[in-house]
Amino acid sequence: MQKKFLTNLGLILFLNLLIKPIYVFGIDKAVQKQVGTASYGSYFAIFNFCFLLTIILDFGITNFNNKNIAQNNHLLTKHFSSLFTLKVLLAVVYIITVIVIGLVIGYDTRLMKLLLIQGFNMFLLFFINYLRSNLAGLHLFKTDGFISVLDRSLMIIICSWMLHSGIFYTENGIMYFVYAQTFCYSVAALTAFLIILKKTHTFKISWNWPFSLMILKKSLPFAILTLLMSFYNRIDSVMIERILPDGDVQSGIYAQGFRILDATNMIAFLVAGVLLPVFSRMLKYKESVESLVKLISTLLLTPAIVIGIGSFFYNTELIKMLYYPDQVAGAAGTLQVHHQAVIESAEIYAMHLKESAAIFGLLMLSFIAIATTYIFGTLLTANGNMRQLNYMAAFGMVLNVIFNYFLIKQFEAYGSSMSSLFTQFFTAIIQVAIAQRIFKFKVNWRLINTFIMYILGVIAINYGTHEMLPYHWMVRFAIMLAGCGLWAFITGIISIKGMFRLLKYG
């Protein structure tokens, strides 16, 4: 099982690491530059607002279906038609709810139009995820990997032309970006639907109220967990945009750091997508999951530690390279960005650079906690420990909202990154404790001490390369990465011999 897991995970990671970074850093970032910080900030806040309400759209069906199909493959044919109808009905309720709440909280006509299209896009995105849950449940990981990058591949092609044409510089630039998403999501959803259709013997649009009620009841714990975790993961930008006078600008600045965190989260998210059906099947047949948990912990947390701590130390250099390449640090040079004939001053860009870098540093540290959550949260989900997870998520949501409310007022967008860092680590530690208690994992003090030693070494390597070496920052950054990789083998946190043994006999 471990060999199959590693093989399929490697394929999915390869496909996504090939396509999605190009989209995030080549397309999405460039779109923000052309439409402007404020316009993109409004889009980013609307996107996260729509995401918060996806409990209505999905109702936990995707995670429930992934676990259910993995343990009972024959249910795909039996359930697909009825679940399809239920998903469409939930989409209608979702769109209506999004519009009503948008009006209540005071979105104007321009934002309501953006809200409506983004709500439909969210339906398409979650419908794709539902279809992919069937593929993952059947362990068709190669097909799932193809579908996972299809929409982004199309976005790269279409938006490359749009960026070259300068269409995003126009007044409705951000809307053209959203329309492009609609087209690409539609193509990906249709493709996935046709693939699933071939795996089912029959398909018929029908409404089965007793079946739908049963599914909603079974998926309710998953829905509650999705809602709660969405709140403490996505509410930041919504609160920033609503609380602060210049909320759209602050949300745009926050989005710069969050975009990179979201891109790195892709790795952990993909791992979890493969882990859930694997854990579910192993638990059904009462196989021990302890060795797989240890394996994936070392494989995922080791790079997470390097990425998180490295980004914290090199926050200014990385943000400047990605968003402010023409700005000369410490000089009075001018960075010009043409948007509706407006040229923002170098002083404003220097301020944005400082704020964005500080936010980015804290957000990336939280990736260590997020990676931990994807491992142990997925294990608990596969085991059906939804009550414990929901209590954890509810407490995390309350903490995050309270901290956000006070910290945003005092520290603006930076305060939200502080709140996110604390909440992510708090909830991650709780999930590890719950998993240890339920599965009665033997406390591996040797592994814990190795991780502590590795973290301290990574901090020392980052401090030494960043503060003491006289070379260009990219050279120092490369030396840091090489040093952290070498330190992983020295401490024994990664063993080449162990990896080969797992691949050969796993």
CA-closest candidate to residue 122, choices 18, 68, 43, 193: 43
For residue 6, what pLDDT is reported?
59
Which residues lie below 8 Å from residue 262, measured CB to CB, with a gap of 6+? 24
Instruction: For tokens 């069906």, name the residue.
Output: 61
CA-closest candidate to residue 398, choices 414, 422, 376: 422
Distance CA 43, CA 440 (A): 45
CA-closest candidate to residue 61, choices 285, 292, 219: 219
Write the pLDDT tens digit of every residue in 167-211. 888 888 889 999 999 999 999 999 988 888 887 766 677 777 787
Structure tokens that stand for 383 in this block: 């085991």
For residue 219, what pLDDT is reported?
77
Query: In this structure, are strands 342-343 and 338-339 parallel, antiparallel, or unpaired?
Result: antiparallel
Residue 449 confidence (pLDDT) above 80: yes
Distance CA 38, CA 252 (A): 6
Q: Would you kindly state where each structural domain of the chain is located, as residue ranges?
A: 2-442, 444-493
Distance CA 146, CA 426 (A): 35
- Residue 27 — φ and ψ, nearest 5°? -105, -60
How many CB atoms are closer than 10 A to CB 473? 18
Which residues lie below 8 Å from residue 57, measured CB to CB, with a gap of 6+? 90, 91, 94, 122, 123, 126
Confidence of residue 505 (pLDDT cuts 50, 70, 90): very low
Write the pLDDT tens digit of every residue in 410-420. 998 899 999 99
pTM as predicted: 0.74
Write the pLDDT tens digit of every residue in 367-412. 999 999 999 999 998 898 989 999 999 999 999 999 999 999 999 8
Write the pLDDT tens digit of every residue in 289-335. 888 888 888 888 999 999 999 999 999 999 888 876 654 433 333 33
